[in-house]
Structure 1
Amino acid sequence: MQDPTSRAARLALDLALTIRHDGHGGVADDLTGTDGLTAWVRAHPDVVPDAAAYTADAATLTAVRELRSALRALFARAVRPAAPSPADATRLLPVTEALARLNAAAARTPTVPVLLWPDDAGPVVRHHPAHGEIEPAALLAQAAVAFLAGPDRQRLRACHAPRCVRYFLKEHPRQEWCEPSCGNRARVARHHERHKRPA
């Protein structure tokens, strides 16, 4: 069973990774519309209770995108003195604004932990609203707070392979890239740079 801190890290990281390389030299955003957010929440059942039936609206999309912007700014701070993701380098929110956004989102819906223990699996903790409906941005913000204040933050890195804009958790001391394919691209780029013939 995955511990709550690891789940929070994964959820916060997955939200940040909705900004990604588009495969053509640019940056893609998986949350450009309500359909994108709906699909993302359904693929992440920890975001809201009954995520499989979730449908996003425009206000929630705006709230989640604003939260993601704050989260990526705080990720950039967490990886200092290393450089942030190239997708963020020129458009980071000031840290004070990012913190204010994150904390405001986390406070929107008070939640309580609820223990679930199905017959065919181990126990899991889900957060349910203390009163009324839960806002996805609130649960995502609470996961981000748990991650940024937890021990996994020390393993957060920005991948600086050519065309990559991802953040990742460093799994072993020699890991430099988010994926082996990024390491391959970086090595190829260095090789080409070393072997360029002067014009």
Structure 2
Amino acid sequence: MRVDQLALDLAVTIRHDGHGGVADDLAEPAGLTRWVQGHAADLVPAGYTADAAALAAVVEVRTAVRALFARAVLPGPPSSADAAKLPDPAAALGRLNAAAARVPLLPRLDWPEDGEPVARFAAAGTVTPADRLAAALAHAAITFLAGPDRARLRACHAPRCVRYFVQDHPRQEWCKPACGNRARVARHHERRRAQGTP
């Protein structure tokens, strides 16, 4: 998985619940444990189980990420889940940078005898799994927001959708085909209602 994809995966843990509301995949430590197993298992020790401290740290990173995603999609509107619920961009930057600083990274060169040299970064000292996870997610968000995909970031504006997505082609308006279908059906019903047709 690309490291910058991890930031988008974290942001979309806030999603439409299928019933007109918003669901939070990280509402409890068990949800974070499931998400990490599916998206970021290489960032934590095998058998990792999230606790309340890890959940709080990751949710703080996610809040900062969503606030900065809302800034990135300007002048378009942010996700409807974020309206008036996020910190201002300066506070979000502070939170994201603080999370990244939880684990100082040192450059490391690996050069196997039968391969090419590879530059990596290793954590300086001993860190808790919660700090490692929060810092890695913050680093992924920094990479995404400073990279070329930020310009293609969009908020899906299909009815009830609250996701962000990276636009694959210039005419893409929705995060997935189901959202496009919902938006077309909603427009059709709105036109019929405006014409006075039941």
Indicate the residue corresponding to 2:17 in structure 1: 22
Aligned partner of 1:89 among 83, 93, 109? 83
| Unpaired runs of at least 5, structure 2 | 112-116
Aligned partner of 1:43 among 38, 42, 54? 38
Write the distance in 2 (CA, Å) between the matches of 1:93 and 1:62: 16
How many residue pairs are counted as aligned between the two chains? 190
Whether contact under 8 Å (1:30, 1:37) holds in the other structure is yes
1:157 is paired with a residue of what secondary structure?
strand
Pair 1:138 & 2:135 matched: yes
Pair 1:78 & 2:72 matched: yes
2:80 is paired with a residue of what secondary structure?
coil
Note the C-alpha offset of 1:198: 7.3
Indicate the residue corresponding to 1:170 in structure 2: 167
Whether contact under 8 Å (1:12, 1:140) holds in the other structure is yes
Whether contact under 8 Å (1:46, 1:126) holds in the other structure is no
State the Cα deviation string for residues 72-125 of structure 1 (Å, max 9, x = none).
Answer: 0000000000000000012121111100000000000023466899xxxxx998
Indicate the residue corresponding to 2:53 in structure 1: 59
The residue correspondences of 1:145-164 to structure 2 (distance < 5 A) are 145-164=142-161
Pair 1:32 & 2:27 matched: yes
State the Cα deviation string for residues 153-184 of structure 1 (Å, max 9, x = none).
Answer: 01100000001000000001111100011011
Q: What TM-score does the superposition give when structure 1 sets the normalisation length?
A: 0.87
Q: What TM-score does the superposition give when structure 2 sets the normalisation length?
A: 0.87
Write the distance in 1 (CA, Å) between the matches of 2:88 and 2:39: 29
2:180 is paired with a residue of what secondary structure?
helix
One-letter code of the match for 2:4? A
The residue correspondences of 1:179-190 to structure 2 (distance < 5 A) are 179-190=176-187
Pair 1:195 & 2:189 matched: no
Whether contact under 8 Å (1:60, 1:137) holds in the other structure is yes
Note the C-alpha offset of 1:8: 2.5
Write the distance in 1 (CA, Å) between the matches of 2:84 and 2:34: 29
Note the C-alpha offset of 1:131: 1.3
| Unpaired runs of at least 5, structure 1 | 118-122
Shift of the 53–171 alpha-carbon distance from structure 1 to 2, 3 Å rule, reads same
Write the distance in 1 (CA, Å) between the matches of 2:184 and 2:197: 20
Note the C-alpha offset of 1:44: 1.8
1:28 is paired with a residue of what secondary structure?
strand
Percent of aligned pairs with the same amino acid = 64
Indicate the residue corresponding to 2:6 in structure 1: 11
